[in-house]
Amino acid sequence: MENKKRSFFERLTGSMSAEEEPVETKKDYLSRGIKNGSDKKNDTNWMEEENEEAELSIDVYQTPTDIVVQTMVAGVRPEDLEISVSRDVVTIRGEREESRTIDEDNYFTKELYWGKFSRTISLPAEVEPEEVEATEKHGLLTVKIKKVDKEKKSSIKVKSI
């Protein structure tokens, strides 16, 4: 490598310019797993692991009355999603099934996740498990859960029997 002055961004982030990065060929990429011994314990290729659940990326925020959880579930039918809610925890589970039958040798890059996924979230406030609304639009799942209103009071009238 020649001694070239690095840009401000490269010095700030510690990155390298595209010309400096080593280029990995498909052959190198595919043989890397073989060189590493293909032992499941040492294999860093997450696509090879079976029976594992991927973890969903989520956004969790609150409104004055709700806790809202959002996640991308594109390619998953609503009936293939399972959402369970308790007073302080939400779990979202599902499976994205691959319908393509392409030979592995024909792939150059395979980054999409196919298979089971889940995420369990500890909620920042106590919620009402019975008051949950889940909607999906364009692959974005939104789960709204009513917060417990600890300030809510009710007066009870005593009846004479």
pLDDT at 43: 47
Give the tens place of pLDDT for each residue, 63-115. Answer: 999 999 999 998 888 888 999 999 899 999 999 887 778 888 888 888 888 88
pLDDT higher at 111 or 119: 119
Q: Taking 80 as the threshold, does the pLDDT of residue 25 lie above it?
A: no
Q: Coil, strand, or helix at residue 82?
A: strand
pLDDT at 1: 47
What radius of gyration, in Å, describes the C-alpha atoms of the chain?
24
| Integer Cα distance of 61 and 150 in angstroms | 19
In the predicted model, what is the mean pLDDT of residues 128-149?
A: 92
Q: Model pTM greater than 0.85?
A: no
Q: In this structure, what token pair is assigned to residue 123?
A: 């909620």
| Integer Cα distance of 86 and 36 in angstroms | 43
Q: Which fold has domain 53-147?
A: Immunoglobulin-like (2.60.40)
Give the tens place of pLDDT for each residue, 147-159. Answer: 987 777 777 788 8
Extents of the domains making up the chain: 7-44, 53-147
Give the tens place of pLDDT for each residue, 2-16. Answer: 556 666 666 666 666
Report residue 160's pLDDT band, with 50, 70 and 90 as the boundaries.
Answer: confident
